[in-house]
């Protein structure tokens, strides 16, 4: 189910197959606030540093730097940014290498676009919940702390 939060998200999509990249980016770009594209893990990592997207979608097998290595490098810089992995059956051997890297979701290729939207919407909602929790906690801390009692 698509929710309203997805349209506020910036997304980085990393895929070396130019046909797939153009097909999915064409469909995705209207559903999100901003879509950045990269054609390999190294470019993906650089765009992550430059744009600080809300969510990253990455293929596994890619030249220069593959999706697993890119995810590892990104995790060194950011422990919480949601990362989605797309994978074909040929990449399965690499899938378990992503264990412990905190990947939020896995999608089989060819990616079903509705499923991708479902996954991105769920992640967007979680990002929104975290934001609300942070502001709610901050408000509580400011309004109902010990200092308020003038010790």
CB atoms within 10 A of CB 17: 15
- Edge-to-edge strand list for the sheet holding 105-108: 34-38, 10-14, 55-59, 83-87, 105-108
Q: Does 143 bind another protein (CB under 8 A)?
A: yes
Q: What token pair was written down for 99? A: 């264990």
Alpha carbons 64 and 45: distance in angstroms, whole number: 11
| Contact set for another protein, span 109-138 (CB under 8 A) | 118-119, 122-123, 125-126, 129-130, 132-133, 136-137
| Binding pattern for the stretch 60-89 against another protein, x by CB under 8 A and - elsewhere | ------------------------x--x-x
Question: Which range binds another protein by CB under 8 A, 10-18, 33-41, 50-58, 139-147?
Answer: 139-147
Q: Which is nearer to another protein, 41 or 82 (CB)?
A: 82
Q: How many CA atoms lie within 13 A of 145 on its CB side?
A: 7
Q: Which is nearer to another protein, 49 or 139 (CB)?
A: 139
């Amino acid at each position: 189910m698509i929710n309203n939060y997805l349209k506020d998200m910036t997304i980085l999509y990393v895929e070396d197959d130019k046909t797939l990249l153009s097909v999915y980016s064409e469909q995705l770009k209207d559903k999100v606030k901003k879509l950045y594209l990269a054609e390999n893990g190294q470019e993906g990592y650089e765009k992550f540093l430059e744009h600080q997207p809300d969510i990253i979608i990455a293929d596994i097998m890619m030249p220069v730097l593959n999706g697993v290595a890119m995810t590892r490098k990104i995790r060194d810089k950011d422990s919480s940014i949601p990362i989605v992995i797309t994978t074909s059956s040929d990449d399965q051997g690499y899938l378990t290498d992503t264990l412990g890297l905190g990947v939020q979701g896995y999608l089989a290729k060819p990616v079903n676009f509705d499923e991708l939207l479902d996954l991105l919407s769920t992640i967007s909602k979680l990002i929104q919940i975290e934001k609300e929790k942070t502001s709610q906690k901050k408000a509580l801390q400011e309004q109902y702390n010990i200092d308020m009692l003038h010790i």
